[in-house]
Structure 1
Amino acid sequence: MRHLGILAHSTEGAALCFLSFCQEGFAALGPHEHPDVTMDCIALARSMPAWDSGDHASIRDTLSVSVARLAKAGADFFVCPDNTAHMALELPGEDLALPGLHIADVVADRAARDGRTRVGVLGTRYLMDGPLYPVAFERRGIAAEVPDAADREIVNEVIFEELLGGVVSERGRREYARVIGRLAERGCDAVALVCTEIPLLVTPDVSPLPTLDSTRLLARAALDVAIGRAPLPGWRGGPYGQADSNGQADRGGQVGSGGQAGTGGQAGQEAGPDSSS
C-alpha cells in the first residue's frame, strides 16, 4: 500500500479528512486497518496576512515546506484538504516534492459522474471570488454558481468566526441552509461544500440540495490511490491542467481502470441524493 501525506492548512478540515481516510480504510480493508498516513501542519496564522494581502506566492512557499516534510516522512503522494490553499499551490514554481491529488478535480469529476449541470459553490470568500471551481466545472460542461455578495459574506464569516475554531452553531446551520435554498431557486442541482470544514455544519439531511462533500470525496480518492485502485497522480503543483512532459493534460485526479478520472468512490457508492455518501 502507498503512504499518504496530508498537507494540512486549516486544522478542522484536515482532521476530518484524516478520520475519513482511516474510516474508508476500515471499510475497505477490515477493522483497524488503513494505509500509512502522515499529516504535516504549519499553523494557518502564519499565512493569514498573506491571504489578506493576496500574496499567494509566499503561501505556496509555506505549503511547499510541508510537502517536503511529508516526503521525508516517507509519503508517496499528498492531498491538501483545504480548497482555498489550491489557489496558491496552482501558482507556477518548482515542482512540489510529491505528486498530489487536486481537490477541485476530484469534486468536479464526481459532479460530472452524477450528471450535475449547475452546481452551487460554498467556500471562503477568497475561493468564491476566484476561478478555481468555475474553471474545474467548466471543463466538464458544468455551470458554477456562487451566492450573492451578501450571502458570500455570511458564508465566509461562519467559516472564519466559527468553523475554523471547531464551533458548529445552529445559527450557522440555518444561514447555510437558507443560502443553499437560494442557490436551488437559481437552478442549481447540487451544492459543492468546498471549504473542508463546511461538512461539520451542513449534512445531507439539512441541505436543500444534494451535497458534494469535498473533504470526504478527497479522502476516498486518496484511499483509492493508497490501496492501488487508482494510480499515483501526476500533479506536482503549478497551473491546473497544464501539459506534462509527454504532452498530456496533467490533472489533480487520475485515470482509473475504467478510463475515467478517479472520483474516490467505488461503483455502487456513486448513486443517491448525497454525492458524498
Structure 2
Amino acid sequence: MAGHLGILGHSAEGAALCFRTFCAQADEHPDVTLDCIPFARCMPAYERGDYDAIRETMAVSLGRLARAGADFFVCPDNTVHQALERPGPEFPLPGLHIAEVVAERAARDGRGRVGVLGTKYLMDGPVYPEAFGRRGIAFELPDAKDRELVSDIIFGELVKGVFSESSRGEYVRVIERLADRGCDAVALVCTEIPLLVTPEVSPLPTLDSTRLLATAAYEVAGGERPLPSWRGGPVLTGGVTA
C-alpha cells in the first residue's frame, strides 16, 4: 500500500478541492501532505511560455513533499502539466497524471468526442489532445472568442474564489455550443471550474478533473490502484497512471 499522498498545489482553490475530496473518502483516510508555492510566482513564466522555469519551481515543491514522507503525488492543476511533461531530471516522487486520469474515465464511459474547457494555455496546448488521442477520443475546443472568455473568468474570478451566476451562464452557453458540435461530454480541466459548473447545470455530462484525480489518488493510497510510475517528462504511449 502506497499510503501517503503528496498534493502538489498551484492554485489554492483547486488544491483545496482536491484535498477536501481526498479526505472525504473516509474518516480514517490515508495521510496527505499539501505543498503550494504561490501561483502568482509562475505567472510571468506562463506569459513568456517558459515551461522549463515552471517545472523547476514545481520540482522544489516535490522535493518538499518527498522529504515530508509522501509516497506519490498528484497535481490538481491541469495547465501546470505542460511544465511537468517537459524533459528534465526525474521528480523525486512518482505521480498520477491528471489528463491520463480524465482520458481514462472518458474511455471507460465510451465517450467519442469531448469538449475541453480550461485556461488559454491549456486549451492551446498539447496535454489533452495527446491524452485523448492515445485512446482514440476526439476533442473540441470553444472558438477563439469563447476560449478567451473562459480563460479570463478563470484568472479573474475562479482562482480568487469568486463564482458568479453571470459567469456560470457564460460557461453553460459555451458548453451548449460544444454540444451542438457533437460533443458527448465536457472535460472541466481547470480544477476550479467544477466549483462553478456542476453536473446539474451542465448541458453535457461532465468530466470533473479535480474529483477524478482525488478519487484515483485515494485508490492508489488505499492499494486499489497500482503506484504510478510517471516521474515527469514526456508521457509514453499507453498512459502513465498505472
Superposition TM-score tier, normalisation by shorter sequence: over 0.9
Give the Cα–Cα distance (whole angstroms) in 2 for the partners of residues 111 and 117 of structure 1: 8
Match of residue 240, structure 2, among 252, 258, 261? 252
The aligned residue for residue 52 of structure 1 is: 47
Letter in 1 for 2:241: G
The aligned residue for residue 40 of structure 1 is: 35
Query: Secondary structure in 1 aligned to 2:210?
Result: helix
The aligned residue for residue 213 of structure 1 is: 208
Matched, 1:127 2:122: yes
CA shift at 1:241, angstroms?
1.4
The aligned residue for residue 179 of structure 1 is: 174
CA shift at 1:252, angstroms?
3.0
Give the Cα–Cα distance (whole angstroms) in 1 for the partners of residues 78 and 176 of structure 2: 23
Query: Secondary structure in 1 aligned to 2:28?
Result: coil
Letter in 1 for 2:167: G
Question: Could you list the runs of 5+ residues in structure 1 that have no partner in the other structure?
Answer: 27-31, 243-248, 255-277
Query: Secondary structure in 2 aligned to 1:75?
Result: coil
Query: Secondary structure in 2 aligned to 1:47?
Result: helix
TM-score by length of 2: 0.98
CA shift at 1:117, angstroms?
0.2
The aligned residue for residue 21 of structure 2 is: 20
Q: RMSD of the TM alignment (CA)?
A: 0.8
Query: Secondary structure in 1 aligned to 2:24?
Result: helix
Higher RCO (C-alpha under 8 Å, 6+ residues apart): 2
Give the Cα–Cα distance (whole angstroms) in 1 for the partners of residues 125 and 42 of structure 2: 18
Match of residue 140, structure 2, among 141, 145, 150? 145
The aligned residue for residue 112 of structure 2 is: 117
Give the Cα–Cα distance (whole angstroms) in 2 for the partners of residues 45 and 119 of structure 1: 30
Give the Cα–Cα distance (whole angstroms) in 2 for the partners of residues 12 and 173 of structure 1: 17
The aligned residue for residue 29 of structure 1 is: none
Listed as ranges, the matches of 1:68-147 within 5 Å are: 68-147=63-142
CA offsets, 1:122-161, max 9 Å, x none?
Answer: 0000000111101110111100110000100110011000
CA shift at 1:75, angstroms?
0.1
CA shift at 1:221, angstroms?
0.3
Question: Could you list the runs of 5+ residues in structure 2 that have no partner in the other structure?
Answer: none
Give the Cα–Cα distance (whole angstroms) in 2 for the partners of residues 183 and 40 of structure 1: 35
Determine what percentage of the aligned residue pairs are the same residue.
70
Letter in 1 for 2:67: K
Matched, 1:197 2:192: yes
Give the Cα–Cα distance (whole angstroms) in 1 for the partners of residues 32 and 164 of structure 2: 31
Give the Cα–Cα distance (whole angstroms) in 2 for the partners of residues 145 and 21 of structure 1: 30
- What is the aligned length? 241
Contact 1:190/1:209, CA 8 A, preserved across alignment: yes
CA shift at 1:39, angstroms?
0.2
Contact 1:103/1:252, CA 8 A, preserved across alignment: no
Matched, 1:165 2:165: no
The aligned residue for residue 246 of structure 1 is: none
Give the Cα–Cα distance (whole angstroms) in 1 for the partners of residues 84 and 4 of structure 2: 21
Structure 1 runs (4+) deviating above 6 angstroms are: none
Listed as ranges, the matches of 1:238-249 within 5 Å are: 238-241=233-236
Letter in 2 for 1:151: D
Letter in 1 for 2:132: F
CA shift at 1:231, angstroms?
1.1
Letter in 1 for 2:14: G
Query: Secondary structure in 2 aligned to 1:35?
Result: coil
Give the Cα–Cα distance (whole angstroms) in 2 for the partners of residues 100 and 252 of structure 1: 9
Contact 1:12/1:197, CA 8 A, preserved across alignment: yes
TM-score by length of 1: 0.86
CA offsets, 1:21-71, max 9 Å, x none?
Answer: 0112x1xxxxx2100000000001110000000010000000000001000
